[in-house]
């Protein structure tokens, strides 16, 4: 895709900046057997995340198109069903909710949780598409349980959209992580009395925090301790029935080839994540942009436009001799700025297999982290030159919108109660039909939408330098909410990326009057 695209940019960051400051779930699963939810050992967040994705998806019905990966597992009503025993779902959803935004649903985060867990803990790369929609209500029950017989399991996976062979694959791909906990399944797993496994979790294989084919090699060699294969209670030995249901052909192939196991899991897990209710349209597979501007902020500050941001070079070594230059093009088509950028930080993805190097939009590490641009000339696009090679998305450049920007003349009119004025600078000569503040709000089932508050056009134009006029709105805000700025320019909606809140503003002083023409 071509940058900027607000939703794809956000999904791309969450998917490919797995351990970065701004996004990334990987911090919750380092090391891979890390467990954050309550005291005790033997469980791992990775396993909870993978099981959550499966149980959310497993309600799908291919016939009527209902159910699927839609975060319906967040509803207490669904979590309290016998088929969803345990605390793993809460453990998964609690931290994920903080990563939701207008562009990323909880269901997308559940999908990304599985991908991050598998990729960061030794597994293959999994294709990710975004655009899942969070359900408004619980789905019909439908998660398979270990007490059911093989015919029920085959029928259950068929209802979810998977063949018998695919069922064997999916169960093995999931059960390379985690295990069965005594508290949830006391008849399958006894109290283990193990000081290194205080939650008494009988693991499916000897490496419960890692993706590998041990679940298959140990099963085929007869050394498996999988509690759903060698459990004392044969009624709950569902993995035994499933794995053996094709005469062990599939499990033998997994045991003899870690590569085949990994590639089969990559395909099956991607399909599992893309199993969504009928009518939901997923995006294209989110590929990493090789050169990606991020956190790009343009503000009007007095008589200058200030540009700040970062550019990420994906899959690059940490090379101090690399040169990265930023070129800015103005409304007349001229390149007005050509600065050499400084390295800012490094991030990793896929468990350290891929590294990204980030450069900040400032000329030196000591300088201010912004570039000044003449507002009259303005800015229309960015280009980068990396070690002499032009990076401009095949000629289109990286478009920057300078038509409607936040003005740093915004200030607090009163501290108690908190009342403030947002000044929004609108470029003269543009066809701007609306300016509004955007606030992310949650509905009564936790889904995020955007609430718009119109900013009335000024009664008389208020000049802000030669190129801009100010539209202002005064409002009180007890909740210190943050807003993005939205506008309709030539009938097309646009939003700033950065958020502003009254909490960030200083008290208005006499030196920030509004000038009138």
Binding site for ligand HEM (CB under 6 A): 43, 47-48, 50-51, 54, 86, 88, 144-146, 153, 170-171, 173-175, 177-181, 184-185, 201, 238, 242
Minimum CB–partner distance for residue 19 and ligand HEM (Å): 21
Between 8 and 201, name the residue whose CB sits nearer to ligand HEM: 201
Contact 315, 356 (CB under 8 A): yes
Between 146 and 351, name the residue whose CB sits nearer to ligand HEM: 146
Minimum CB–partner distance for residue 201 and ligand HEM (Å): 6
Minimum CB–partner distance for residue 26 and ligand HEM (Å): 17
Minimum CB–partner distance for residue 171 and ligand HEM (Å): 5
Beta-strand relationship, 404-414 and 291-301:
parallel
Between 200 and 496, name the residue whose CB sits nearer to ligand HEM: 200
Minimum CB–partner distance for residue 433 and ligand HEM (Å): 49
Minimum CB–partner distance for residue 145 and ligand HEM (Å): 6
Between 47 and 485, name the residue whose CB sits nearer to ligand HEM: 47
Between 276 and 324, name the residue whose CB sits nearer to ligand HEM: 276
According to DSSP, the residues that pair with 426 across neighbouring strands are 404, 469
Minimum CB–partner distance for residue 373 and ligand HEM (Å): 50
C-alpha separations of 90 from 52, 101, 104, 448 in Å: 9, 19, 19, 19
Cα–Cα distance, 500 to 391 (Å, whole number): 31
Contact 312, 294 (CB under 8 A): yes
Between 100 and 180, name the residue whose CB sits nearer to ligand HEM: 180
Between 66 and 184, name the residue whose CB sits nearer to ligand HEM: 184
Bond prior to 4 in cis (omega within 30° of 0): yes
Q: Does residue 474 sit in helix, strand or coil?
A: strand
Minimum CB–partner distance for residue 269 and ligand HEM (Å): 6
Cα–Cα distance, 397 to 381 (Å, whole number): 6
Cα–Cα distance, 347 to 256 (Å, whole number): 35
Cα–Cα distance, 143 to 156 (Å, whole number): 8
Minimum CB–partner distance for residue 73 and ligand HEM (Å): 13
Between 85 and 280, name the residue whose CB sits nearer to ligand HEM: 85
Radius of gyration of the chain (CA): 27
Q: Which residue in 14, 15, 92 sits closest to 47, CA to CA?
A: 92
Between 268 and 426, name the residue whose CB sits nearer to ligand HEM: 268
Backbone angles phi, psi at 153, to 5 degrees: -65, -40
Minimum CB–partner distance for residue 112 and ligand HEM (Å): 15
Minimum CB–partner distance for residue 293 and ligand HEM (Å): 36
Q: Which residues contact 367 (CB under 8 A, 6 or more apart)?
A: none
Q: Does residue 245 sit in helix, strand or coil?
A: helix
Q: From the centroid of its chain, how far is CA 419?
A: 33
Between 19 and 48, name the residue whose CB sits nearer to ligand HEM: 48
Between 39 and 281, name the residue whose CB sits nearer to ligand HEM: 39
Q: What is the 3-state secondary structure (H, E, C) of 382-451?
A: EEEEECCEEECCCCCCEECCCCEEEEEEEEEEECCCCEEEEEEEEECCCCEEEEEEEEEEECCCCCEEEE
Query: How many Cβ atoms sit within 10 Å of the Cβ of residue 421?
Result: 20
Minimum CB–partner distance for residue 329 and ligand HEM (Å): 48
Query: How many Cβ atoms sit within 10 Å of the Cβ of residue 261?
Result: 28
Cα–Cα distance, 280 to 414 (Å, whole number): 46
Between 163 and 365, name the residue whose CB sits nearer to ligand HEM: 163
Q: From the centroid of its chain, how far is CA 504?
A: 26
Contact 463, 457 (CB under 8 A): no
Q: From the centroid of its chain, how far is CA 160?
A: 25
């Amino acid at each position: 895709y071509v940058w900027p695209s607000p939703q794809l940019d956000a999904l791309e960051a969450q998917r490919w900046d797995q351990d970065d400051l701004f996004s990334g779930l990987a911090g919750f699963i380092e090391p891979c057997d890390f467990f954050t939810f309550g005291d005790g050992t033997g469980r791992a967040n990775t396993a909870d995340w993978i099981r959550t994705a499966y149980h959310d998806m497993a309600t799908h019905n291919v016939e009527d198109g209902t159910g699927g990966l839609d975060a319906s597992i967040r509803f207490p009503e669904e979590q309290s069903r016998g088929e969803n025993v345990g605390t793993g779902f809460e453990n998964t959803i609690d931290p994920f909710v903080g990563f939701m935004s207008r562009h990323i649903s909880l269901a997308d985060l559940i999908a990304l949780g599985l991908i991050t867990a598998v990729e960061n803990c030794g597994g293959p790369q999994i294709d990710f598409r975004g655009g899942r929609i969070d359900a408004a209500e619980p789905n019909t029950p439908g998660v398979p349980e270990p007490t059911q017989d093989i015919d029920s399991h085959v029928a259950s996976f068929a209802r979810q959209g998977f063949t018998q062979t695919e069922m064997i694959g999916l169960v093995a791909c999931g059960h390379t992580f985690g295990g069965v906990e005594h508290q949830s399944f006391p008849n399958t797993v006894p109290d283990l009395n193990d000081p290194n496994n205080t939650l008494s979790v009988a693991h499916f294989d000897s490496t419960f925090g890692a993706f590998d084919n041990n679940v298959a090699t140990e099963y085929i060699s007869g050394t498996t301790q999988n509690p759903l294969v060698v459990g004392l209670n044969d009624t709950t030995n569902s993995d035994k029935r499933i794995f053996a249901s094709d005469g062990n052909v599939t499990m033998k192939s997994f045991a003899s080839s870690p590569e085949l196991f990994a590639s089969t899991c990559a395909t099956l897990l991607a399909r599992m994540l893309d199993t969504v209710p009928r009518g939901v349209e997923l995006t294209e597979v989110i590929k990493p942009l090789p050169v990606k501007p991020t956190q790009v902020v343009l503000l009007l500050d007095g008589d200058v436009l200030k540009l700040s941001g970062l550019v990420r070079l994906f899959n690059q070594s940490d090379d101090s001799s690399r040169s990265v230059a930023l070129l800015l093009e103005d409304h007349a088509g001229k390149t007005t700025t050509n600065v050499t950028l400084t390295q800012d930080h490094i991030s990793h993805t896929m468990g350290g297999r891929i590294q990204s190097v980030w450069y900040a939009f400032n000329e030196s590490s000591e300088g201010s982290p912004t570039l000044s641009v003449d507002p009259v000339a303005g800015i229309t696009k960015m280009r980068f030159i990396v070690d002499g090679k032009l990076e401009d998305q095949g000629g289109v450049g990286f478009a920057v919108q300078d038509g409607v920007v936040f003005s740093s003349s915004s200030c607090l009119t009163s501290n108690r109660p908190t009342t403030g004025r947002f000044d929004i600078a609108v470029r003269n000569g543009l066809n701007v039909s609306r300016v509004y503040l955007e606030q992310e709000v949650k509905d009564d089932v936790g889904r995020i939408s955007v609430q718009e508050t119109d900013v009335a056009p000024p009664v008389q134009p208020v000049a802000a330098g030669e190129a801009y006029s100010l539209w202002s709105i005064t409002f009180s805000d007890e909740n210190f909410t943050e807003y993005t700025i939205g506008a309709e320019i030539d009938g097309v909606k646009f939003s700033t990326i950065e958020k502003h809140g009254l909490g960030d503003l200083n008290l208005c002083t006499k030196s920030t009057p509004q000038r009138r023409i």
